[in-house]
Amino acid sequence: MATRIALGQYLRNSRRTASIEEGQLIRLIEDVAYASRILAAMVGHGALGEVLGAAGSRNVQEEEQQQLDVLANDVVLETIRRSRHARAMISEEMDSVAEVEEARGYGRLLLLIDPLDGSGNIDINLPIGTIFSVLEAPMASQAILEQHVLQPGRRQLAAGYVLYGPSVVLVLTVGQGVAMFTLNRQVGEYLLVADQLRIPPGRHEYAINSANERFWSDDVRRYIGECQAGKDGPLGVDYSMRWTGAMVGDCHRVLLRGGVFMYPVDARTAAKGGKLRLLYEANPMALLMEQAGGAASDGQRSILDIQPTGLHQRVGVVLGDAEEVGRLVGYATGTAP
Ligand code: P6P
Protein backbone atom coordinates (compact mmCIF):
# COMPACT_ATOMS: atom_id res chain seq x y z
CA MET A 1 0.00 0.00 0.00
CA ALA A 2 1.47 3.36 -0.99
CA THR A 3 1.90 5.52 2.11
CA ARG A 4 1.70 9.30 2.08
CA ILE A 5 4.66 11.56 2.84
CA ALA A 6 4.57 12.99 6.35
CA LEU A 7 5.23 16.67 7.09
CA GLY A 8 8.71 16.07 8.51
CA GLN A 9 9.78 14.00 5.50
CA TYR A 10 8.41 16.67 3.13
CA LEU A 11 10.35 19.40 4.93
CA ARG A 12 13.60 17.44 4.94
CA ASN A 13 13.19 16.62 1.25
CA SER A 14 12.59 20.30 0.43
CA ARG A 15 15.46 21.75 2.45
CA ARG A 16 17.67 23.85 0.25
CA THR A 17 20.84 23.73 2.34
CA ALA A 18 22.16 21.98 5.40
CA SER A 19 22.46 25.32 7.18
CA ILE A 20 21.56 25.74 10.86
CA GLU A 21 18.73 28.07 9.82
CA GLU A 22 17.27 25.39 7.54
CA GLY A 23 17.48 22.81 10.29
CA GLN A 24 15.82 25.14 12.77
CA LEU A 25 13.21 26.14 10.18
CA ILE A 26 12.19 22.53 9.73
CA ARG A 27 11.95 21.97 13.46
CA LEU A 28 10.11 25.26 14.10
CA ILE A 29 7.48 24.33 11.52
CA GLU A 30 7.19 20.94 13.21
CA ASP A 31 6.76 22.79 16.54
CA VAL A 32 3.87 24.80 15.08
CA ALA A 33 2.38 21.60 13.66
CA TYR A 34 2.69 19.95 17.10
CA ALA A 35 0.99 22.92 18.80
CA SER A 36 -1.76 22.87 16.18
CA ARG A 37 -2.50 19.22 16.99
CA ILE A 38 -3.11 20.27 20.60
CA LEU A 39 -5.29 23.17 19.43
CA ALA A 40 -7.21 20.83 17.11
CA ALA A 41 -7.99 18.61 20.09
CA MET A 42 -9.01 21.61 22.24
CA VAL A 43 -11.20 23.10 19.51
CA GLY A 44 -12.60 19.67 18.69
CA HIS A 45 -13.99 19.22 22.21
CA GLY A 46 -16.32 22.20 21.66
CA ALA A 47 -18.58 22.86 24.61
CA LEU A 48 -17.41 19.63 26.25
CA GLY A 49 -14.02 21.18 26.79
CA GLU A 50 -15.29 23.88 29.18
CA VAL A 51 -13.10 26.44 27.37
CA LEU A 52 -15.63 28.23 25.19
CA GLY A 53 -16.74 31.79 25.73
CA ALA A 54 -15.01 35.06 26.48
CA ALA A 55 -11.87 35.24 28.57
CA GLY A 56 -12.92 38.55 30.13
CA SER A 57 -9.88 40.33 28.68
CA ARG A 58 -9.00 42.34 25.56
CA ASN A 59 -5.89 42.05 23.39
CA VAL A 60 -3.74 44.88 22.11
CA GLN A 61 -6.18 45.22 19.22
CA GLU A 62 -8.84 46.08 21.83
CA GLU A 63 -10.68 42.93 20.70
CA GLU A 64 -12.47 40.77 23.27
CA GLN A 65 -10.40 37.61 23.77
CA GLN A 66 -12.03 34.20 23.80
CA GLN A 67 -10.69 31.73 26.35
CA LEU A 68 -9.35 29.63 23.48
CA ASP A 69 -7.49 32.67 22.08
CA VAL A 70 -5.50 32.93 25.30
CA LEU A 71 -5.02 29.17 25.65
CA ALA A 72 -3.90 28.84 22.02
CA ASN A 73 -1.30 31.56 22.49
CA ASP A 74 0.00 29.84 25.64
CA VAL A 75 0.23 26.47 23.88
CA VAL A 76 2.33 27.89 21.05
CA LEU A 77 4.56 29.95 23.34
CA GLU A 78 5.25 27.00 25.67
CA THR A 79 6.00 24.75 22.70
CA ILE A 80 8.63 27.05 21.22
CA ARG A 81 10.16 27.87 24.62
CA ARG A 82 10.88 24.19 25.12
CA SER A 83 12.23 23.62 21.61
CA ARG A 84 14.42 26.78 21.37
CA HIS A 85 14.13 27.03 17.57
CA ALA A 86 12.66 30.54 17.69
CA ARG A 87 14.37 33.52 19.30
CA ALA A 88 11.05 35.28 19.75
CA MET A 89 7.34 35.07 19.11
CA ILE A 90 5.10 37.88 17.93
CA SER A 91 1.39 37.20 18.38
CA GLU A 92 -1.94 38.89 17.84
CA GLU A 93 -2.59 38.06 21.50
CA MET A 94 0.53 39.74 22.95
CA ASP A 95 1.31 43.46 23.03
CA SER A 96 5.04 43.15 22.41
CA VAL A 97 7.75 40.76 21.27
CA ALA A 98 8.00 37.68 23.51
CA GLU A 99 11.69 36.78 23.60
CA VAL A 100 12.61 33.14 24.05
CA GLU A 101 15.56 33.61 26.42
CA GLU A 102 16.19 29.87 26.30
CA ALA A 103 17.15 30.32 22.63
CA ARG A 104 19.55 33.25 23.12
CA GLY A 105 22.84 32.40 21.41
CA TYR A 106 21.16 29.59 19.46
CA GLY A 107 17.80 30.47 17.87
CA ARG A 108 17.95 32.01 14.39
CA LEU A 109 14.23 32.48 13.68
CA LEU A 110 11.24 34.64 14.56
CA LEU A 111 7.74 33.16 14.74
CA LEU A 112 4.84 35.51 13.97
CA ILE A 113 1.43 34.06 14.63
CA ASP A 114 -2.29 34.54 14.93
CA PRO A 115 -2.90 31.57 17.22
CA LEU A 116 -6.62 31.38 16.62
CA ASP A 117 -7.94 33.40 13.70
CA GLY A 118 -11.70 33.85 13.48
CA SER A 119 -12.28 33.14 17.15
CA GLY A 120 -15.73 34.68 16.84
CA ASN A 121 -16.62 31.39 15.11
CA ILE A 122 -15.56 29.23 18.07
CA ASP A 123 -18.86 29.20 19.95
CA ILE A 124 -20.87 28.54 16.79
CA ASN A 125 -18.69 25.68 15.55
CA LEU A 126 -17.66 27.36 12.32
CA PRO A 127 -14.14 27.27 10.78
CA ILE A 128 -11.25 28.82 12.70
CA GLY A 129 -7.53 28.60 12.11
CA THR A 130 -3.94 29.36 13.02
CA ILE A 131 -1.87 31.59 10.72
CA PHE A 132 1.93 31.68 11.00
CA SER A 133 4.96 33.30 9.41
CA VAL A 134 8.70 32.78 9.95
CA LEU A 135 11.39 35.45 9.55
CA GLU A 136 15.13 35.35 10.15
CA ALA A 137 16.24 36.74 13.52
CA PRO A 138 19.37 38.88 13.97
CA MET A 139 22.54 37.28 15.30
CA ALA A 140 21.61 34.73 17.91
CA SER A 141 23.20 36.65 20.79
CA GLN A 142 21.38 39.96 20.26
CA ALA A 143 18.23 40.96 22.10
CA ILE A 144 15.24 40.92 19.78
CA LEU A 145 13.89 44.40 19.19
CA GLU A 146 10.77 45.46 17.35
CA GLN A 147 12.87 46.73 14.45
CA HIS A 148 14.20 43.20 13.90
CA VAL A 149 10.66 42.03 13.33
CA LEU A 150 9.58 44.81 10.96
CA GLN A 151 10.65 43.05 7.75
CA PRO A 152 8.71 43.13 4.45
CA GLY A 153 6.70 39.98 3.76
CA ARG A 154 8.94 39.04 0.85
CA ARG A 155 11.58 38.18 3.49
CA GLN A 156 9.50 35.36 4.98
CA LEU A 157 11.31 32.02 5.16
CA ALA A 158 8.03 30.14 5.56
CA ALA A 159 4.32 30.89 5.84
CA GLY A 160 1.25 28.78 6.43
CA TYR A 161 -1.98 28.15 8.20
CA VAL A 162 -3.90 25.37 9.91
CA LEU A 163 -7.65 25.21 9.26
CA TYR A 164 -9.68 23.47 11.98
CA GLY A 165 -12.63 22.32 9.87
CA PRO A 166 -14.33 18.98 9.18
CA SER A 167 -10.76 17.84 8.66
CA VAL A 168 -7.68 19.60 9.99
CA VAL A 169 -5.45 20.78 7.17
CA LEU A 170 -2.06 22.46 7.26
CA VAL A 171 -1.09 24.54 4.22
CA LEU A 172 2.53 25.61 3.94
CA THR A 173 5.12 27.23 1.74
CA VAL A 174 8.89 27.38 2.28
CA GLY A 175 9.27 29.30 -0.95
CA GLN A 176 9.09 26.29 -3.24
CA GLY A 177 5.35 26.21 -3.97
CA VAL A 178 2.39 25.45 -1.72
CA ALA A 179 1.74 22.07 -0.09
CA MET A 180 -1.32 20.84 1.79
CA PHE A 181 -1.35 18.23 4.55
CA THR A 182 -4.30 16.58 6.28
CA LEU A 183 -4.06 15.50 9.91
CA ASN A 184 -4.39 11.76 10.40
CA ARG A 185 -5.77 11.86 13.91
CA GLN A 186 -5.12 8.18 14.55
CA VAL A 187 -1.39 8.44 14.06
CA GLY A 188 -1.15 12.16 14.96
CA GLU A 189 0.68 12.99 11.73
CA TYR A 190 0.11 15.54 8.96
CA LEU A 191 0.18 13.65 5.65
CA LEU A 192 0.80 15.28 2.27
CA VAL A 193 -2.39 15.40 0.18
CA ALA A 194 -1.46 18.02 -2.42
CA ASP A 195 1.71 19.78 -3.56
CA GLN A 196 2.43 22.69 -5.90
CA LEU A 197 -1.15 23.97 -5.41
CA ARG A 198 -2.25 26.55 -8.03
CA ILE A 199 -5.24 28.85 -7.64
CA PRO A 200 -7.77 27.77 -10.32
CA PRO A 201 -8.27 30.76 -12.66
CA GLY A 202 -11.55 32.12 -13.91
CA ARG A 203 -13.71 31.13 -10.92
CA HIS A 204 -16.34 33.77 -10.17
CA GLU A 205 -16.57 33.87 -6.39
CA TYR A 206 -15.81 36.82 -4.13
CA ALA A 207 -15.64 37.11 -0.36
CA ILE A 208 -16.30 40.42 1.37
CA ASN A 209 -18.38 41.51 4.35
CA SER A 210 -21.14 43.25 2.38
CA ALA A 211 -22.59 44.81 5.55
CA ASN A 212 -19.77 47.37 5.22
CA GLU A 213 -20.90 48.51 1.76
CA ARG A 214 -21.79 52.04 2.89
CA PHE A 215 -18.14 52.51 3.97
CA TRP A 216 -16.50 51.21 0.77
CA SER A 217 -14.33 53.31 -1.55
CA ASP A 218 -15.58 53.94 -5.09
CA ASP A 219 -13.22 51.37 -6.64
CA VAL A 220 -14.41 48.59 -4.30
CA ARG A 221 -18.01 49.61 -4.91
CA ARG A 222 -17.38 49.45 -8.69
CA TYR A 223 -15.64 46.08 -8.50
CA ILE A 224 -18.37 44.47 -6.36
CA GLY A 225 -21.13 46.13 -8.39
CA GLU A 226 -19.78 44.56 -11.58
CA CYS A 227 -19.65 41.14 -9.90
CA GLN A 228 -23.25 41.58 -8.68
CA ALA A 229 -24.40 42.69 -12.15
CA GLY A 230 -23.53 39.17 -13.29
CA LYS A 231 -24.06 38.02 -16.88
CA ASP A 232 -26.22 41.08 -17.66
CA GLY A 233 -23.36 43.37 -16.57
CA PRO A 234 -19.96 44.32 -18.03
CA LEU A 235 -18.33 41.05 -16.94
CA GLY A 236 -20.98 38.92 -18.69
CA VAL A 237 -20.88 36.20 -16.04
CA ASP A 238 -22.66 35.48 -12.79
CA TYR A 239 -20.65 35.56 -9.54
CA SER A 240 -21.43 34.08 -6.15
CA MET A 241 -20.46 35.46 -2.74
CA ARG A 242 -19.09 33.59 0.25
CA TRP A 243 -18.10 34.88 3.72
CA THR A 244 -17.00 32.54 6.55
CA GLY A 245 -16.02 35.20 9.11
CA ALA A 246 -12.55 33.66 9.37
CA MET A 247 -9.77 34.71 7.00
CA VAL A 248 -8.30 31.19 7.09
CA GLY A 249 -11.57 29.65 5.87
CA ASP A 250 -12.06 32.15 3.05
CA CYS A 251 -8.41 32.03 1.95
CA HIS A 252 -8.45 28.22 1.93
CA ARG A 253 -11.49 28.25 -0.35
CA VAL A 254 -9.77 30.79 -2.66
CA LEU A 255 -6.60 28.69 -2.76
CA LEU A 256 -8.51 25.53 -3.73
CA ARG A 257 -11.46 26.94 -5.68
CA GLY A 258 -10.27 30.32 -6.95
CA GLY A 259 -11.94 33.70 -6.68
CA VAL A 260 -10.94 36.53 -4.37
CA PHE A 261 -11.01 37.43 -0.67
CA MET A 262 -11.26 41.08 0.31
CA TYR A 263 -11.04 43.11 3.47
CA PRO A 264 -10.28 46.55 1.99
CA VAL A 265 -9.60 49.69 3.98
CA ASP A 266 -12.88 51.59 4.17
CA ALA A 267 -14.24 54.78 5.78
CA ARG A 268 -14.81 52.85 9.01
CA THR A 269 -11.32 51.30 9.32
CA ALA A 270 -9.20 53.96 7.56
CA ALA A 271 -8.06 55.58 10.82
CA LYS A 272 -6.58 52.23 11.93
CA GLY A 273 -5.17 51.39 8.48
CA GLY A 274 -7.64 48.56 7.91
CA LYS A 275 -8.92 45.52 9.79
CA LEU A 276 -6.48 42.69 9.16
CA ARG A 277 -2.96 42.63 10.57
CA LEU A 278 0.01 42.81 8.23
CA LEU A 279 2.68 40.75 9.98
CA TYR A 280 0.78 37.62 11.01
CA GLU A 281 -2.32 37.60 8.79
CA ALA A 282 -1.83 39.45 5.49
CA ASN A 283 1.87 38.65 4.89
CA PRO A 284 1.66 34.85 5.34
CA MET A 285 -1.51 34.64 3.25
CA ALA A 286 0.03 36.90 0.60
CA LEU A 287 3.09 34.66 0.28
CA LEU A 288 0.91 31.57 -0.05
CA MET A 289 -1.23 33.22 -2.74
CA GLU A 290 1.78 34.40 -4.78
CA GLN A 291 3.42 30.97 -4.42
CA ALA A 292 0.19 29.46 -5.79
CA GLY A 293 0.17 31.76 -8.83
CA GLY A 294 -2.17 34.35 -7.34
CA ALA A 295 -1.73 37.91 -6.11
CA ALA A 296 -2.17 39.87 -2.88
CA SER A 297 -2.50 43.64 -2.70
CA ASP A 298 -3.46 46.30 -0.19
CA GLY A 299 -5.38 47.87 -3.06
CA GLN A 300 -2.40 49.81 -4.35
CA ARG A 301 0.71 47.58 -4.17
CA SER A 302 1.78 44.05 -3.35
CA ILE A 303 1.35 43.32 0.34
CA LEU A 304 4.72 41.56 0.39
CA ASP A 305 6.49 44.79 -0.55
CA ILE A 306 5.07 46.81 2.37
CA GLN A 307 7.72 47.96 4.86
CA PRO A 308 6.05 47.37 8.24
CA THR A 309 6.06 50.21 10.80
CA GLY A 310 4.48 48.43 13.74
CA LEU A 311 4.00 44.92 15.17
CA HIS A 312 0.22 45.09 14.96
CA GLN A 313 -0.04 47.29 11.90
CA ARG A 314 -3.26 46.81 9.96
CA VAL A 315 -3.61 46.77 6.18
CA GLY A 316 -6.22 46.50 3.46
CA VAL A 317 -6.31 43.08 1.78
CA VAL A 318 -7.47 41.83 -1.60
CA LEU A 319 -6.00 38.47 -2.53
CA GLY A 320 -6.52 35.40 -4.71
CA ASP A 321 -6.97 35.07 -8.48
CA ALA A 322 -4.35 37.38 -10.03
CA GLU A 323 -6.76 38.62 -12.71
CA GLU A 324 -9.44 39.53 -10.17
CA VAL A 325 -6.92 41.26 -7.89
CA GLY A 326 -5.51 43.08 -10.91
CA ARG A 327 -8.94 44.37 -11.91
CA LEU A 328 -9.59 45.90 -8.48
CA VAL A 329 -6.08 47.38 -8.23
CA GLY A 330 -6.55 48.79 -11.74
CA TYR A 331 -9.68 50.60 -10.58
CA ALA A 332 -7.97 51.79 -7.37
CA THR A 333 -4.86 53.10 -9.11
CA GLY A 334 -6.65 54.49 -12.16
CA THR A 335 -4.73 52.20 -14.53
CA ALA A 336 -7.89 50.31 -15.61
CA PRO A 337 -10.41 51.70 -18.12
P1 P6P B 1 -15.94 40.77 10.17
C2 P6P B 1 -11.62 37.47 12.29
O3 P6P B 1 -11.96 38.31 13.39
C4 P6P B 1 -10.98 38.36 11.23
O5 P6P B 1 -9.83 38.96 11.74
C6 P6P B 1 -10.69 37.55 9.98
O7 P6P B 1 -10.31 36.25 10.26
C8 P6P B 1 -12.00 37.61 9.22
O9 P6P B 1 -11.84 37.47 7.81
C10 P6P B 1 -12.53 39.01 9.58
O11 P6P B 1 -11.92 39.37 10.82
C12 P6P B 1 -14.03 39.02 9.75
O13 P6P B 1 -14.39 40.37 9.94
O14 P6P B 1 -15.95 42.27 10.04
O15 P6P B 1 -16.73 40.09 9.08
O16 P6P B 1 -16.30 40.26 11.53
CB of 326 within 6 A of ligand 1: the answer is no
Identify whether 153 is part of a domain: yes
Distance from residue 141's CA to the centre of ligand 1 (Å): 38
Asked whether 246 lines ligand 1 (CB < 6 A), one says yes
pLDDT for res 140: 67
Q: How many CA atoms lie within 13 A of 101 on its CB side?
A: 0
Q: How far does residue 278's CA lie from ligand 1's centre (Å)?
A: 14
Give the count of domains, the chain.
Answer: 2
Per-residue model confidence (pLDDT) at position 50:
77
Please tell me if the CB atom of residue 245 comes closer than 6 angstroms to any atom of ligand 1.
yes
Pair (245, 295) in one structural domain: yes
**Confidence (pLDDT) at 337:** 78
pLDDT average per 10 residues of sequence, the chain (337 residues): 89 79 93 97 87 82 84 96 93 95 90 95 94 91 91 98 97 96 96 98 96 98 98 97 97 98 98 97 98 97 98 98 97 89
Please tell me if the CB atom of residue 117 comes closer than 6 angstroms to any atom of ligand 1.
yes
Quote the ligand 1 centre to 240 CA distance (angstroms). Answer: 19
**Ligand 1 center to residue 243 CA distance, Å?**
9
CATH of the domain at 27: 3.30.540.10
Residue 199 lies in a domain: no
Residues 20 and 169 in one domain: yes
Are 77 and 150 in the same domain? yes
Domain extent for 260 = 205-333
Q: Whose CA is nearest to atom 14 of ligand 1?
A: 209
Let me know whether 23 and 97 are in one domain.
yes
Ligand 1 centroid – CA 209 distance (Å):
9
Query: What's the CA dihedral at 5, 170, 165, 288 to 10 degrees?
Result: -130
pLDDT number for residue 255? 98
Rounded distance from Cα 277 to ligand 1 centre (Å): 11
Q: For a substitution probing ligand 1, which of 263, 269, 319 has the most ligand atoms within 8 Å of its CB?
A: 263
Atom of ligand 1 nearest to the CA of 212: 14
Last residue of a domain, one of 194, 220, 255: 194
